[in-house]
Amino acid sequence: MKVGDIMTRQVVSVPPETPALAVAQLLSERGFSAVPVTDSWGMLLGIVSEADLIRRLANDDRQGAGFLGRLFYDRDRAAAQYANVHGRTAGEIMTRELVTVTRSCTAERAASLIETHNIRRLPVVDDGVLVGIVSRADLLRALLTPPGDASDAAIRTALSESMARQAWADAPYVFFDVTEGKVTFYGYCHSSVVRRGLAAMAEAVPGVTGVEDRVVDASRPPAS
């Protein structure tokens, strides 16, 4: 499944000259946690999040630095930080370094980026132009959406691709077959943990109706 299939297309954005307080009001009234900042062409410039606005309050509450803090105090850096945090417009306080994806990105890759970077959403861009947002909620809905193609061939392809993406799943003597949605593993494997992981991976493939493990435990000596 691609990001373009699950992303939110109707995205509310603000121009960079929008007053910071107006952005805060927008987030509060609409229940948003962030809003993209775009120019007149729709080019993504940054995002203003609740965290960006909360930093304004946190910065005001900072206590005076101790002796060591004063000793290594960088006045210019502190002034620049204060100016950025207390900027008057969305363009001055927005986060500029963003993780973005395109519509052709897979839902699995988007989920991995969200997890790795500990963020709530990913802007979707086309040559820099904002075309949508994919959030944790969008990915959750995709997980709950019935698969469009639940054929054995589609399951076989999806499971093969999942196994290829995980180094631990490279078990050269393990094979599988798919019959009427049921995945059956065969072969030899010395690790019961890898076998459990493969079973979990198969169960996560849309359309799978059951998983059977017929893999021989190669760590045990053959029965006499």
Question: Which letter does DSSP use for residue 101 in this model?
Answer: B
Answer yes or no: do 135 and 178 share one domain.
no
Answer yes or no: do 66 and 119 share one domain.
yes
Answer yes or no: do 19 and 122 share one domain.
yes
Q: 77: which residues sit within 8 A by CB, 6+ positions away?
A: none
- What's the angle, vertex CA 131, arms to CA 130 and CA 132, rounded to 5? 100
Whether 60 is covered by a domain: the verdict is yes
- Last residue of one domain, picked from the residues 144, 166, 193: 144
Answer yes or no: do 206 and 124 share one domain.
no
- The pLDDT tens digits for 63-122 are 445 544 555 556 666 555 554 445 578 998 888 999 999 999 988 899 999 999 999 899
**Residue 160, domain CATH:** 3.30.1340.30
Q: 19: which residues sit within 8 A by CB, 6+ positions away?
A: 88, 89, 90
Answer yes or no: do 134 and 171 share one domain.
no
Count CB neighbours of 142 within 10 A: 20
Whether 73 is covered by a domain: the verdict is yes
Whether 167 is covered by a domain: the verdict is yes
Range of the domain at 13: 3-144
- Last residue of one domain, picked from the residues 127, 144, 161: 144
Q: What is the pTM of this model?
A: 0.58
Answer yes or no: do 119 and 199 share one domain.
no
Compute and round to an integer the Cα radius of gyration of the chain: 25
- The pLDDT tens digits for 170-189 are 888 999 999 999 999 999 99
Whether 224 is covered by a domain: the verdict is no
Answer yes or no: do 134 and 162 share one domain.
no
End-to-end CA distance of the chain: 49
Is 125 within 8 Å of 151 (Cβ atoms)? Answer: no
In the chain, % of residues over pLDDT 90: 43
Answer yes or no: do 179 and 119 share one domain.
no
Q: What is the mean pLDDT of residues 7-13?
A: 89
Answer yes or no: do 65 and 116 share one domain.
yes
Q: What is the largest CA-CA distance in the chain?
A: 80
The backbone torsions φ and ψ at residue 38, rounded to the nearest 5 degrees and listed phi first, read -130, 160
Is 188 within 8 Å of 218 (Cβ atoms)? Answer: yes
Count CB neighbours of 76 within 10 A: 7
Answer yes or no: do 103 and 198 share one domain.
no
Answer yes or no: do 100 and 167 share one domain.
no
pLDDT of residue 140: 84
**Structurally, how many domains does the chain consist of?**
2
Place of tokens 């132009």: 129
200-211 burial, b at 16+ Cβ within 10 Å, e below that, comes to ebbeebbbbeeb
> Would you say how long the chain is, in residues?
224
Whether 223 is covered by a domain: the verdict is no
Answer yes or no: do 187 and 129 share one domain.
no
Question: Which letter does DSSP use for residue 37 in this model?
Answer: E
